[in-house]
Structure 1
Amino acid sequence: MKLIGVDIGGTFTDVIYTDTDTGVSKIHKTPTTTNDPSIGMVNGILELCSRYGIDRGSVDHVFHGTTIATNAALEHKGAKTGLITTEGYRDLLQIGRHQRPENYSITQDIPWQDRSMVARRYRKTVSERIGVLDGKAYEKVPLDEEAVISVLDDFKKEGVESVVVGFLFSYLNPDHEERVKEIVQEKFPDFYITTSAEISPQFREFERFATASMNGFVGPKMKGYIEALESRLADAGIDCDLLIMTSNGGVANSATISEKPVLTLLSGPAAGVLGGQWAGKLSNHERLITFDVGGTSADIGIVTERGFSESSAGDTEIAGYPLQVPMIDIYTIGAGGGSIAYVDAGGAFQVGPQSAGSYPGPACYGRGGDLPTVTDATLVLGRLDPDHFLDGEMEIFPEKAVASVQHLASVLGLGLYETAEGILTIVNNNMANAIRSRTIQKGFDPREFSLAALGGGGPMCSIEVAKILDIPEVIIPPYPGITSATGLLTTDLKYDAVQTIFVASDKVDLAYLNERFTNLEKEITAQLMDAGFEKEQISLLRFFDCRYVGQGYELRIPVATGVINESNASAIWNTFHEVHKREYGHSFLNNPVEIVNMRVTGVGEMPKIGDPDFAEGSRSLDEALVKVAPAWFRSNSTLKSFDTPHYMKSKLPIDEAFAGPCIILQKDTTSVIPPNCAATMSANGSIIVKIGGEA
């Protein structure tokens, strides 16, 4: 199988090719085309194929991580969206749950009120009602179809592009929502249509409506992007499956994503966590903090022996909007190579979150940017080699970096190198604080983890960040600058099915649970078989969302496959007690447990990238040495210049320790090894850096 993974970032588009039969992998980076990212993506694939003599027509799958939906949500640049809901519930999206994101702030931003995805004038109600009696749904008030058609007529006159349907209790009986969808498809086919029961068949109407509204808001843009991308790929002779990364750590086909783009809101960052997990496996590390630093942002994830962490029901959100879709637990801050350094109105030295992006980019790119960035500061300190930036394929201008940093230095009254080092110190501490919020504040000791240095910027700053947090070891993977693209080639097709039930452990109907699981498993299996998988290629995972009776939020626990009976049901409750204690520090063994949702995740096994091989050829530090040049580091509290070796990674010796300070060059990134550290490269290309170690 021949696979290509493409991740589009704010500054660069990363491409990786692998042949699973031969184990050969090739990488490429190209600037992101911000106005239409699909142009840069296809160009990057064509450039890679041309450079390495790859037949573009032989590619079997293209895997893609995208930020189209994410950016539409963050920038609030989605479709004009209308909502049809149950009579009396027009303002549910505005009211929410009367919960404030920040309890004690009087200036806080409440996005669903300040900039709702559906303006109030486009929120309409119709007469209908699904009732519930003894846990079973029934039609209490018929759907007024004439009112639905009238509302749709109004939407068409108002220029609405996307229609969202959200009715009460549709998660138990979606018939009314489905009927509205049929009317739209029959009489108003130009509308992009979303029903809440298709997107999120779960209780909690505000979160369900918000999730469906987000899908409708970003849907037309995402659907148009996928159609344009598939057309570009076909025109370029790349006629193969397009698989899109989803927020749950799997991929889905383009047809599914066109209907449910809300699944992609953490597409790129999720791939980064998977790439970090893959890097950990290469070096036999299970406990990792994945630290993915790009041009605009830094993404932080946690991987343990149990796999990557997932967001809980109460913490799943994008741009402040609550969502009901499975997501890897990722925390993002505005800190990257393009982060701009400045003096704020109060005279404080700040770095980020504003970014120079890809265009104009850092001053050293020579594209018209003149503000000092993290990349410029790194270049001024001699930690970037202008002759080997992107393997020498992109020219950068040290004098422009010096001019931008010197201007800031004059404002601050500091020297050039002190200012450049100050920029890095501030941004590194900002990133360390972000890691603390995902580890220490969640009960993890970062000193018990390794830090996986990912992204184009991760290997440049990760060791300094690790020192701040007393993390003893940093892992730099084989292709750190394209980690998200690599992560795309480590995953499987993954679909989720969920059903809300309310069953307490002291009144459980085991026959009902087994019947529901069987139905969900049939649904997911059919989806995966429609996608071309045979039964033997499909695996099914079961989960319950549980809470103690009376609690407001639930925790997800795994459930063993097979029939649930009296003897093994107790294991389910015990698992919940254990997870609750791990999450909150206590459990209530005598309290009944309530199941609120049951889930089935179907996994269709995809071909994957193999272990890289960097062991070929003659290797020694002398052969790897490119040059010795001055670079500035702080040692024993003093900032000073060191004669610093620059090594080519492809020629580094295997399993032989070498000391910092040194600079390691490769196409997709530059790795900076400060003083008082020791690094060793393994045969698979992973570099392990011991903080405070000796060569």
Structure 2
Amino acid sequence: MIRIGVDVGGTFTDLILVDQLNNEIHVHKVPSTLDDQSKGVIRGIKELCEKAGVPVSEVDYVLHGTTVATNITIERNGAVVGMLTTKNYRDILHIARHKKAQNFSIQQDLPWQANPLVLRRNRLPITEKLAAPDGKVKVPLNEEEVRQAVSQLKEANVDVVVVSFLFSFLNDAHENRAKEIVKEMWPEVLCFTSSEIAPQMREYERFSTAAMNAYVAPRVNNYIDHLVNALDDAGVKGELHIMQSSGGMATSEMAVDKPVTLLKSGPSGAVLATAWFGELEGIENIISVDIGGTSADISVIPNNTPKIINPRDCEVNGYPVLVPMIDVETIGAGGGSIAHIDAGGAFRVGPKSAGSTPGPACYGQGGENPCVTDANVVLGRLDPEQFLGGDLKLHSELSYKAVEEKIASQLNMSVEEAALGILKIINNNMALCIRAKSVSKGIDPREYALFGAGGAGPLHIVDLAETIGTNLVIVPNYPGITAATGLLVGDIKYDYIKSLITRFDRADDEMIDSINAALEELTNTAKAQLIQDGVDPENIEIERIAECRYAGQGFELRAAIPDGPVTQESMKEIVQNFHAAHEEEYDHHFPNNIVELITLRIVATGKTPSLRLPKIASGERLNPNEALMYVRDSIFEVDGEIRKVSTPRYDRSKLLANDVVEGPAIIVQRDSTTTVPPKWQAAVSENGTLFVAHKVIEGGPAKLVEKLFAKVGV
């Protein structure tokens, strides 16, 4: 079986091909084509297959991580959406929760008001009403009003229609009927209902999720359809699967049906890869730092398990979305982040990026602003002739000129000081994000290893480790392709939910029967979808979850449902699981408080073949001459002084298991460069993973590696 993982970033499109029959791995990078991402994807697949000696027709799967949906929300250029909603509730999307991000600011923009997903004139009220808590019809649907509203939206030339009625998560009959009328009168328009996108309580969050799905749908669907056709034209016969925000893969058909699930498709791959490498190497607690050309994606991963964001915190650019999302934070910190002096005279880096066009000054494509990549070139940490294996020549004189003119001359410092300043600022920006994701949640980042992913990750990861105080850094085999690698370890995964609100202390046999019936219905639906996707029934795993809260609480936490039919005894176990989840999340729980069930959730996983890395031969060499390329000066800050240090370059492909490289050193490979500063040292595992730690261990290479692993409890 041959599988290709393709991740599109803001600067480069990363690809990895795995030939499982021959246990071969090939990687490739091409510039991203932001006007049409599919152009870069197709070019990359063709070039990678040619490089691997594999006909494109023999590719079985193309696994894709995309930022199309994310970019729509950032650029705010989505579809014109029309909404049919319950009479007297058309302003829910405007009113929201009466909560501001900055409680005491009178000048902040509220995105749901400043840039609403659905303009008020396109939110049309319909007479209908359901009763809570059973969903019975209180006021019948006025079908004539629906028809008038559809005519009005058609005249307004909206791109897509969404139907969002009150309490539809309890009874979707009115929404379904309204959708039928929309399709009767306007067959060609896209139409979604809130009950098929997010059948959960909380009308604002449900309406917002449905509106976001409609907002991104036309462009996402056009992109996927175009990519499917382009793959077909290129002779690729394999199936296309898309990474979802939850870290699970979806078929292209399922992604088109629910594009809101792709909002964090891009960053999820690197998180999955980090967890997979952690499990492979026996490192339980890791912080993933995926630094690309445009941004850095940061995720804290305890126990090799990517965290799913609590529903109360699920949002994209200020808009709440009730879909499962891996907890990953994206900040404007990448190789292309532009260094500048702001209007107040402060030295800043990012969030604006030069991207791939024109790119940093050293690209020689007309970029005049100094970027993080330029700073690394000035400091001799990136060798111009080695970038992307020599495919893209860097111009060090342009980097020097940009840093000198735009930063150093304005701040009366040397070019080297300015370049180091650029790296310090960008590293501190990332350190602040790491602390926000860890310290603020009771996690000590010093007890975690840092995982350097992305093309720029290994360049910065050790300096970042020093900044936050951790002593171990992990650099995977193909760091520049990490997000694409994560696509190869992700399984097909879907979530199915049903709201069923009850107190556990009042759950009688009739309610338990309802819970079992709902779980059976959701499970059967999930299994049928996975089988339709081509998953063998033996490879299907079902996780059953009860989303619960204490009576009076605002939001839920996930509690596992024991195997087998739900009984009075297993209901008690669910309650105990909820108490444990509350303790883990908030460091306390209330054993005597009443617990409520809010939502039943089925997470259906179709297991797919995982990645296997070939073992490498053992070398047990210290600073191996066989891997030495040449020696060149690089600039480091040592004991508070800026020094030009003679620094050997090593070819990573020639390093063997148990080899040790003492800093200062630069380890070069096609897709990335790893910096090993003075007082640090790197060791190679049998899987080819690079470990970098403080230079505090003495003894021969083999003993050094053994102690290095022991240092992190392996």
TM-score using structure 1 length: 0.98
- Structure 1 residue 111 displacement after superposition: 0.6
Aligned length: 693
- Structure 1 residue 650 displacement after superposition: 0.3
1:615-658 C-alpha deviation (Å, 9 max, x unpaired): 39998721111110000001111110110011110001321222
Contact 1:84 1:126 in 2 (8 A): yes
Tell me, in whole angstroms, the C-alpha distance in 1 between the residues paired with 2:386 and 2:448.
Answer: 32
Contact 1:350 1:426 in 2 (8 A): yes
Q: What's the counterpart of residue 446 of structure 1? A: 445
Identity %: 45
1:450-490 C-alpha deviation (Å, 9 max, x unpaired): 11111111100011111111111000011111111000000
1:371-396 C-alpha deviation (Å, 9 max, x unpaired): 00100000100000111100111111
Q: What's the counterpart of residue 322 of structure 2? A: 324
Contact 2:446 2:468 in 1 (8 A): yes
Q: What's the counterpart of residue 23 of structure 1? A: 23
Out of 294, 307, 310, the position equivalent to 1:312 is 310
Q: Which amino acid aligns with 1:602?
A: A
Q: What's the counterpart of residue 4 of structure 2? A: 4
Out of 627, 630, 642, the position equivalent to 2:630 is 627
Q: Which amino acid aligns with 1:549?
A: A
1:29-58 C-alpha deviation (Å, 9 max, x unpaired): 000011001000000000111122111111
Within 5 Å, which residues of 2 pair with 1:195-594? 195-305=193-303, 307-407=305-405, 408-508=407-507, 509-594=511-596
SS of 1:606's equivalent in the other structure is coil
SS of 1:102's equivalent in the other structure is coil
1:563-588 C-alpha deviation (Å, 9 max, x unpaired): 22233322221221122122112111
Q: What's the counterpart of residue 94 of structure 2? A: 94
Unaligned runs of 5+ in 1: none
1:50-96 C-alpha deviation (Å, 9 max, x unpaired): 12211111111100000000100111110111111011111110010
Supply the RMSD in Å over aligned alpha carbons. 1.4
SS of 1:219's equivalent in the other structure is helix
- Structure 1 residue 176 displacement after superposition: 1.4
Matched, 1:672 2:670: no
Higher mean C-alpha deviation, range 367-376 or range 154-163: 154-163
Tell me, in whole angstroms, the C-alpha distance in 2 between the residues paired with 1:159 and 1:401.
Answer: 49
Tell me, in whole angstroms, the C-alpha distance in 1 between the residues paired with 2:614 and 2:301.
Answer: 22
Contact 2:656 2:688 in 1 (8 A): no
- Structure 1 residue 692 displacement after superposition: 4.0
Higher mean C-alpha deviation, range 154-163 or range 313-322: 154-163
Q: Which amino acid aligns with 2:222?
A: G
Higher mean C-alpha deviation, range 141-150 or range 237-246: 141-150
Tell me, in whole angstroms, the C-alpha distance in 2 between the residues paired with 1:117 and 1:432.
Answer: 33
SS of 1:239's equivalent in the other structure is coil
SS of 2:385's equivalent in the other structure is helix
Higher mean C-alpha deviation, range 176-185 or range 522-531: 176-185
Contact 1:542 1:558 in 2 (8 A): yes
Q: What's the counterpart of residue 51 of structure 2? A: 51
Matched, 1:660 2:663: yes
SS of 1:532's equivalent in the other structure is coil
Tell me, in whole angstroms, the C-alpha distance in 1 between the residues paired with 2:81 and 2:449.
Answer: 45
- Structure 1 residue 149 displacement after superposition: 2.0
SS of 1:498's equivalent in the other structure is strand
1:238-263 C-alpha deviation (Å, 9 max, x unpaired): 02211000011101011111121100
Tell me, in whole angstroms, the C-alpha distance in 2 between the residues paired with 1:46 and 1:633.
Answer: 40
Contact 1:621 1:653 in 2 (8 A): no
1:651-688 C-alpha deviation (Å, 9 max, x unpaired): 01321222111111111111111111111012212101
Contact 2:150 2:185 in 1 (8 A): no
Contact 1:463 1:691 in 2 (8 A): no
SS of 2:102's equivalent in the other structure is coil
Matched, 1:38 2:45: no
SS of 2:559's equivalent in the other structure is strand
SS of 1:93's equivalent in the other structure is helix
Q: Which amino acid aligns with 2:471?
A: P
Q: What's the counterpart of residue 126 of structure 1? A: 126
Higher mean C-alpha deviation, range 179-188 or range 332-341: 179-188
Tell me, in whole angstroms, the C-alpha distance in 2 between the residues paired with 1:311 and 1:3.
Answer: 29
Tell me, in whole angstroms, the C-alpha distance in 2 between the residues paired with 1:170 and 1:257.
Answer: 23
SS of 2:324's equivalent in the other structure is coil
Matched, 1:163 2:161: yes
SS of 1:463's equivalent in the other structure is helix
Contact 1:581 1:587 in 2 (8 A): yes
Q: What's the counterpart of residue 647 of structure 1? A: 650
Contact 1:23 1:609 in 2 (8 A): no
Contact 1:118 1:213 in 2 (8 A): yes
Tell me, in whole angstroms, the C-alpha distance in 1 between the residues paired with 2:309 and 2:432.
Answer: 20
Tell me, in whole angstroms, the C-alpha distance in 1 between the residues paired with 2:236 and 2:617.
Answer: 32
Q: What's the counterpart of residue 60 of structure 2? A: 60
1:170-217 C-alpha deviation (Å, 9 max, x unpaired): 111111111222223232122111110000000000000000000000
1:288-325 C-alpha deviation (Å, 9 max, x unpaired): 11111111111111212261111001100001101100
Tell me, in whole angstroms, the C-alpha distance in 2 between the residues paired with 1:566 and 1:591.
Answer: 18
SS of 2:48's equivalent in the other structure is helix
- Structure 1 residue 547 displacement after superposition: 0.9
Instruction: Go from structure 1 to structure 2 and tell me whether the alpha carbon gap of 1:521 and 1:557 turns closer, same or farther (over 3 Å shift).
Output: same
1:490-515 C-alpha deviation (Å, 9 max, x unpaired): 01110100111212121123332222
TM-score using structure 2 length: 0.95
Q: What's the counterpart of residue 700 of structure 2? A: none
Tell me, in whole angstroms, the C-alpha distance in 2 between the residues paired with 1:377 and 1:470.
Answer: 23
- Structure 1 residue 691 displacement after superposition: 2.7
Unaligned runs of 5+ in 2: 698-703, 705-714
Tell me, in whole angstroms, the C-alpha distance in 1 between the residues paired with 2:377 and 2:257.
Answer: 45
Contact 2:17 2:26 in 1 (8 A): yes
- Structure 1 residue 267 displacement after superposition: 0.3
Contact 1:626 1:645 in 2 (8 A): yes
